[in-house]
Amino acid sequence: MLGSDPDDVKRRLRQLKKLETGIRFKNRQLTGRESYVWNIFFSTKDDESVRYPFRLLVDMEKQAFSDVIAEYFSMVYFLYYKENGILDRDLYDPVLLSELGLPAHSTSGEIKKRFRELAKKHHPDRGGDSGSFIRLMSIYQKLIESR
């Protein structure tokens, strides 16, 4: 397991935030109001509101942790490209894609196919939860509108 040492995990997380600062805010004066991807993904405390709570990271296997870091950097670079006007129109929001269980490089066809699979599963007329279905519809709509 990765996290036999919680202090090592904290150190790695702090390094990630420094890297994000260097990537996204390198040529800007920091104001303290910057919106970090790090704050969505991580916390060095037991904060359950983030995508990957600290306890989960401490107990995570090395490969799973590597996958989390890859997902994190996909989002960091997605925002960097978007903020600097160099976003390729073929890119979709990696956070929304991950909520559908898709990789950051998914195509529109893959998104549509996955949406249909999940819609069948979560549709209230087929025994699914209406809240999950509404969330799925919202994600899909955001992905379509980003085109």
Tens digits of residue pLDDT in 38-62: 998 998 888 888 989 999 999 999 8
- Domain termination site, one of 83, 110, 130: 83
Residues 62 and 122 in one domain: no
- Look at 3 and 20; give whichever has higher pLDDT: 20
- Domain termination site, one of 38, 56, 83: 83
Residues 35 and 55 in one domain: yes
List all residues 6 or more positions away from 109 whose beta carbon is below 8 Å from its beta carbon: none
- Read off the pLDDT band of 134 (50, 70, 90): very high
What is the reported pLDDT for 3? Answer: 53
Please name the residue ranges forming H helices in 26-107: 38-41, 54-58, 62-83, 94-99
Residues 15 and 69 in one domain: yes
Number of domain units in the chain: 2
Residues 50 and 72 in one domain: yes
Tens-place pLDDT, residues 83-120:
888 866 667 888 788 889 888 778 889 999 999 999 99
Please give the average per-residue pLDDT across 59-88, as a whole number.
Answer: 86
Residues 12 and 43 in one domain: yes
pTM, two decimals, is 0.68
